[in-house]
């Protein structure tokens, strides 16, 4: 693999692959050669630093890394999460054709369908008002208490699908910072509130602490006996849920073969289903399933997640670009970058291979972003003229939902397309100077100012265009990125499905709590940590 990566570097150098501007000038068909479609979804990668030779090299790399075999092993239910000894089967949750999926010789589909059915019944009862609080009033507000994968997916998707939201109001509490739950509880009437405690493990300290606070809120206002009417839970740890006191009829399970950051398709999606209804949630699953079928069947040069992964690997590992910016020109996708941060960085932020040896090249990039056009007025300066090259990933709908505001949508589209054009084309020194002198600036001053107005161009970007952001389109987008992360992880030869990197901080926080509470001394901790604790304790009121 290392040799193939080196030869890709050489191909890029020898073919001037990073001179994207020259590639466009030389080939009027570049767009049609380096873009592909899946129904209304258009994927344009012509503004990336690729050419045919690079793509051939990437295909060879994918073959050598066994990406397709690894993909098939995932769909088959093999134990590919080797450190946790688990299958990886979030795809079974959206397996709309009901093709049998075997784990340990047993088809998981009947259980998957049963939970989906139970969620649907519960969600529709909440939405219709037939499920009541302890005092007989309808539920107006649903609060999801979870963190990481038990929060980001439902938050992101609920915001994204606001035009389809016709159920009760939704709130999300994740942070252990008491401010988060306190600010949420202030908005609620306990008689009409329902809390969903969402935690795969049902041990996560943030979620358990917030759940206890919410429980006290109900018990204090409505009495202990009311708690059962105002709580539901989503977890794989059904024994722990029952110890919390939530009735089995309000508990929705999932399985250890669903990773937290891949769990929006499972019962973790319950808040979304309550917001948009069972039918639209089904459309969301359909979108994910459509991408699964595409990923499994399309040839590499038409396979969007495969291309996305290969190009991602190429930008990151071959060309050494340290981060990628996720730039949805879709305000309702405002939490999509945060969602992808967990998906990508928790999956591929690893430095040890599946053979338990150190990796030989750079793995997952830093993933970040904000919706356009807001980002343009904040950090685009650095993307255009900074010293790092940051591949940008744009996404835009051909149609907004606000029919009477078409003009605003056209402005949004123009801005999105202009950014990728500017990143690719740039502005030369001669062009910058000519612009200034044309405005009447004298030669000497133009010479001084022009360098500040130069854009190197050749900054890669890719663009997704879809018809409209609806449940199907969102499901498709999420699944695309899931499989992209999979492809990159397969090329890195790492386990994309564990997350040991978050453990150490959790362990140390548990150890530090008694010190922060003033019950234990800070002895044994480093002087910085001890000094910080002392300062905080001194100031604590």
Ligand X SMILES: O=P(O)(O)OC[C@H]1O[C@](O)(CO)[C@@H](O)[C@@H]1O
Binding site for ligand X (CB under 6 A): 147-150, 199-201, 204, 207, 260-261, 346, 499, 502
Q: Which token pair is 219?
A: 């018990």
506 is catalytic: yes
Taking the least distance from each CB to ligand X, the nearer of 17 and 343 is 343
Taking the complex as a whole, the smallest distance from the CB of residue 155 to ligand X amounts, in Å, to 13
Taking the least distance from each CB to ligand X, the nearer of 149 and 312 is 149
Q: Please check whether residue 463 is in contact with residue 47, taking contact to mean a CB–CB distance below 8 angstroms.
A: yes
Q: Which of 346, 370, 393, 482 is catalytic?
A: 346
Q: Which DSSP state fits 405?
A: G
Q: Which of 2, 186, 377, 452 is catalytic?
A: 377
Taking the least distance from each CB to ligand X, the nearer of 236 and 373 is 236
346 is catalytic: yes
Taking the least distance from each CB to ligand X, the nearer of 74 and 450 is 74
Taking the complex as a whole, the smallest distance from the CB of residue 154 to ligand X amounts, in Å, to 12
Q: Which of 6, 506, 517, 520 is catalytic?
A: 506
> What whole-number distance in Å separates Cα of residue 205 and Cα of residue 196?
16
Q: Which DSSP state fits 398?
A: S
407 is catalytic: no
> What whole-number distance in Å separates Cα of residue 500 and Cα of residue 464?
33
Residue 539 CB neighbours (<10 A): 7
Taking the least distance from each CB to ligand X, the nearer of 191 and 344 is 344
3-state secondary structure 159-217: HHCHHHCCCCEEEEECCCCHHHHHHHHCCCCHHHEEEEEECCCCCCHHHHHHHHHHHHH
> What whole-number distance in Å separates Cα of residue 117 and Cα of residue 124?
11
Taking the complex as a whole, the smallest distance from the CB of residue 346 to ligand X amounts, in Å, to 6
Taking the complex as a whole, the smallest distance from the CB of residue 199 to ligand X amounts, in Å, to 3
> What whole-number distance in Å separates Cα of residue 347 and Cα of residue 490?
11
Taking the complex as a whole, the smallest distance from the CB of residue 269 to ligand X amounts, in Å, to 13
Q: Please check whether residue 391 is in contact with residue 419, taking contact to mean a CB–CB distance below 8 angstroms.
A: no
Read off φ and ψ for residue 175, nearest 5 degrees: -70, 140
| Residues labelled catalytic | 346, 377, 506
């Amino acid at each position: 693999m290392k040799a193939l990566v080196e030869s890709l570097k050489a191909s890029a150098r020898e073919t001037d692959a990073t001179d994207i501007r020259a590639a466009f000038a030389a080939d009027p068909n570049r767009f049609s050669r380096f873009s592909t479609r899946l129904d209304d979804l258009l994927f344009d990668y012509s503004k990336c630093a690729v050419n045919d030779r690079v793509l051939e090299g990437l295909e060879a790399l994918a073959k050598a890394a066994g990406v397709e075999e690894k993909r098939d092993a995932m769909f088959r239910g093999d134990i590919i999460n080797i450190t946790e000894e688990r299958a990886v089967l979030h795809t079974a949750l959206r397996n709309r054709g009901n093709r049998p999926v075997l784990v340990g010789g047993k088809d998981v589909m009947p259980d998957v369908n049963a939970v989906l059915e139970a969620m649907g019944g519960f969600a529709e009862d909440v939405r219709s008002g037939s499920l009541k609080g302890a005092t007989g009033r309808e539920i107006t507000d649903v609060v999801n208490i979870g963190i990481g994968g038990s929060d980001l997916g439902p938050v992101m998707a609920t915001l994204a699908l606001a035009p389809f939201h016709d159920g009760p109001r939704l709130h999300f509490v994740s942070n252990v910072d008491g401010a988060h739950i306190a600010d949420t509880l202030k908005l609620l009437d306990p008689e009409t509130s329902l809390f969903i405690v969402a935690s795969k493990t049902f041990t996560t300290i943030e979620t358990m602490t917030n759940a206890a606070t919410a429980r006290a809120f109900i018990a204090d206002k409505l009495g202990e006996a009311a708690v059962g009417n105002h709580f539901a839970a989503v977890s794989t740890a059904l024994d722990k849920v029952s110890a919390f006191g939530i009735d089995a009829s309000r508990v929705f399970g999932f399985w250890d073969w669903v990773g937290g950051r891949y769990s929006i398709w499972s019962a973790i999606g319950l808040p979304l289903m309550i917001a948009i209804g069972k039918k639209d949630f089904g459309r969301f699953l359909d979108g994910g399933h459509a991408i699964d079928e595409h990923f499994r069947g399309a040839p590499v040069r038409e396979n969007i997640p495969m291309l996305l992964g290969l190009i991602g690997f190429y930008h990151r590992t071959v060309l050494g670009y340290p981060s990628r910016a996720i730039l949805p020109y879709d305000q309702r996708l405002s939490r999509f970058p945060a969602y992808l941060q967990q998906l990508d960085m928790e999956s591929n932020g690893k430095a040890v291979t599946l053979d338990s040896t150190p990796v030989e090249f750079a793995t997952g990039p830093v993933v970040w972003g904000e919706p356009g056009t807001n980002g343009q007025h904040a950090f685009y300066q650095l993307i255009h003229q900074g010293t790092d090259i940051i591949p940008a990933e744009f996404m835009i709908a051909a149609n907004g939902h606000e029919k009477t505001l078409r003009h605003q949508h056209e402005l949004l589209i123009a801005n999105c397309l202009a950014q990728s054009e500017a990143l690719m084309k740039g502005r030369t020194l001669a062009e910058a100077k000519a612009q200034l002198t044309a405005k009447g600036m004298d030669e000497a001053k133009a010479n001084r100012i022009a360098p500040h107005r130069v854009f190197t161009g050749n900054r890669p970007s890719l663009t997704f265009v879809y018809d409209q952001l609806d449940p199907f389109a969102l499901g498709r987008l999420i699944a695309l990125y899931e499989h992209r992360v999979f492809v990159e992880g397969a090329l890195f030869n790492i386990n994309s499905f564990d997350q040991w990197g978050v453990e150490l901080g959790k362990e140390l926080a548990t150890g530090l709590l008694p010190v922060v509470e003033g019950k234990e001394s800070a002895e044994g901790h480093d002087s910085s940590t001890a000094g910080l604790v002392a300062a905080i304790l001194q100031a604590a009121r």
